[in-house]
């Protein structure tokens, strides 16, 4: 549960309420988007719990897709996790950490700023202290996880407790000591332009889904979990319920303490959580919230690094990725090569992209495969009818069907509202095709000569 909660709570709960307010324009719709995204993620977790119990191996979704559909979908999922999902999440979290760290110590000014044309749009690119901090924090937690999964797990538990305590202080303090404000709508001038209400709600859900992202990570390390038939579903379902409660109460606290115009006008330099705490702690609240956010990000970063490296490791073991990545270290028995390569690519992404660019393209690419993985529960019930299933998906088949349908809608909506990030995600996934064809030819050659994959 600490891995589920600790990996999910990162930057989103502190940063995404502002853009969601700009999208939908009222506190009620913002809260509805948080609830909808949480219920959707819980529906996914309910399904993933059955898959995790059925196939408790390192690799998570990669294992489920390979068992249900074969090598091709599994490879492209694993490739997506490598180049977009895991590394992109790590880079996003590191970029968020750098924003707050450099702000705390007055190092926010970049050394150089450039404008880049991509897919017909002009995008900003910066390099400076923030990128250096992001690289450092990625390398630090990657090194921690090279020590061993038990050590990484203990660090995860400690950071999870610390971040939940920090958020609890924010929520309780607001309700006890802040004066409170009336709820009102956002002026049209501050709203995101040219979106229908349905598109706006979808964009708000996409932002909230970044805050919930990570619920799928724990099964990636299921091969290293004791008694997975019992612990995987408890961790997934229990963790998601805890997250849903924390997120809803935290956003209620924001809207209790601040008018929606101030929430919508907040930024990474002055996040909504900081402004809410300032209503009862004054200037001291700024540093308190910054430290709480930094601890929160560290927990999510550690959990993402721990779990993400298990996907390319599982691919390499199946002969679908570089063989060296499938090796375990002699002492700690962790996939060190996978951790190292994941860290290097995450550092490159942290240099190239901004926080919002990275989060949008990660969520879009990930939800393509979340929907596909959820359909595996139907396929595996047909392919493996006699397999032991100590846990079966609650609400089957309604929950998985609803999850898949909403996932399809979110993908289409993102193509309309965030075309640059969506195109970048699709392009990076497509770049895996030559590598897949190479490994397929190598596997066929090995089989023809009686070799082993």
Residue 214 has pLDDT above 90, yes or no: no
pLDDT at 218: 66
Q: Render pLDDT for 227-250 as a digit per residue (tens, 0 to 9).
A: 777 777 888 888 888 899 999 999
Domain regions of the chain by residue span: 2-440
Q: How confident is the model at residue 301 (pLDDT cuts 50, 70, 90)?
A: confident
Q: Render pLDDT for 76-86 as a digit per residue (tens, 0 to 9).
A: 988 888 888 88
- Among 116-120, 184-188, 257-261, 299-303, which is the least confidently predicted range? 116-120
pLDDT at 453: 41
Class of domain 2-440: mainly alpha
Residue 119 has pLDDT above 60, yes or no: no
Q: How confident is the model at residue 448 (pLDDT cuts 50, 70, 90)?
A: very low
Q: How confident is the model at residue 15 (pLDDT cuts 50, 70, 90)?
A: confident
Q: HEC profile for the chain? A: CHHHHHHHCCCHHHHHHHHHHHHHCCHHHHHHHHHHHHHHHHHHHHHHHHHHHHCCCCCCHHHHHHHHHCHHHHHHHHHHHHHHHHHHHHHHHHHHHHHHHHHHCCCCCCCEEEEEEECCEEEEEEECHHHHHHHHHHHHHHHHHHHCHHHHHHHHHHHHHHHHHHHHHHHHHHHHHCCCCCCCCCCHHHCCCCCCHHHHHHHHHHHHHHHHCCCCCHHHHHHHCCCHHHHHHHHHHHHHHHHHHHHHHHHHHHHHHCCHHHHHCCCCCCCHHHHHHHHHHCCHHHHHHHHHHHHHHHHHHHHHHHHHCHHHHHHHHCCCCCHHHHCCCCCCCCCHHHHHHHHHHHHHHHHHCCHHHHHHHHHHHHHHHHHHHHHHHHHHHHHCCCCCCCCCCCCCCHHHHHHHHHHHHHHHHHHHHCHHHHHHHHHHHHCCHHHHHHHHHHHHHHHHCCCCC
- Identity of the highest mean pLDDT range in 133-137, 147-151, 293-297, 327-331: 133-137
pLDDT at 452: 43
User: pTM here?
Assistant: 0.76
Q: How confident is the model at residue 48 (pLDDT cuts 50, 70, 90)?
A: confident
């Amino acid at each position: 549960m600490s891995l589920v909660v600790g990996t999910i709570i990162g930057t989103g709960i502190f940063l995404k309420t502002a853009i969601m307010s700009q999208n939908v324009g009222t506190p009620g719709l913002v809260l509805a988007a948080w609830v909808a995204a949480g219920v959707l993620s819980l529906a996914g977790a309910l399904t993933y719990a059955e898959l995790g119990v059925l196939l408790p191996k390192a690799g998570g979704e990669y294992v489920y897709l390979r068992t249900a559909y074969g090598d091709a979908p599994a490879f492209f999922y694993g490739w997506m996790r490598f180049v977009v999902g895991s590394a992109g999440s790590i880079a996003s979290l590191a970029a968020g950490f750098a924003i707050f760290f450099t702000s705390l110590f007055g190092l926010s000014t970049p050394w150089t700023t450039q404008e880049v044309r991509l897919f017909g749009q002009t995008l900003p690119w910066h390099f400076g202290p923030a990128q250096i901090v992001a690289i450092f924090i990625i390398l630090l937690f990657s090194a921690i996880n090279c020590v061993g999964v038990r050590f990484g797990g203990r660090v995860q538990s400690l950071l999870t407790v610390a971040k939940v305590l920090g958020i609890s202080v924010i929520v309780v303090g607001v309700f006890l000591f802040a004066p409170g404000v009336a709820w009102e709508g956002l002026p049209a001038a501050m709203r995101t332009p040219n979106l229908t209400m349905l598109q706006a709600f979808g964009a708000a859900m996409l932002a909230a889904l970044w805050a919930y992202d990570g619920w799928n990570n724990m099964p990636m390390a299921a091969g290293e979990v004791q008694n997975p038939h019992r612990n995987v579903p408890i961790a997934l379902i229990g963790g998601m319920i805890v997250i849903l409660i924390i997120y809803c109460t935290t956003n209620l606290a924001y809207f209790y303490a601040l008018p929606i115009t101030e929430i919508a006008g907040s930024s990474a330099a002055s996040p909504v959580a900081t402004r809410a705490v300032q209503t009862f702690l004054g200037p001291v609240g700024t540093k308190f919230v910054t430290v709480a956010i930094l601890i929160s990000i560290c927990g999510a970063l550690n959990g993402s690094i721990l779990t993400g490296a298990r996907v390319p490791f599982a691919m390499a073991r199946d002969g679908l990725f570089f063989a060296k990545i499938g090796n375990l270290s002699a002492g700690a028995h962790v996939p060190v090569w996978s951790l190292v390569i994941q860290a290097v690519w995450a550092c490159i992404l942290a240099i190239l992209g901004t926080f919002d660019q990275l989060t949008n393209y990660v969520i879009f690419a990930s939800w393509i495969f979340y929907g596909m993985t959820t359909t595996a529960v139907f396929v595996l019930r047909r392919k493996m009818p006699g397999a032991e299933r100590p846990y079966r998906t609650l609400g089957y088949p309604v929950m998985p069907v609803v999850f898949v349908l909403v996932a399809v809608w979110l993908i289409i909506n993102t193509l309309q509202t965030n075309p640059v990030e969506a195109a970048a995600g699709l392009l990076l996934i497509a770049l895996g095709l030559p590598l897949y064809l190479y490994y397929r030819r190598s596997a066929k050659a090995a089989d023809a000569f009686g070799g082993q994959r």
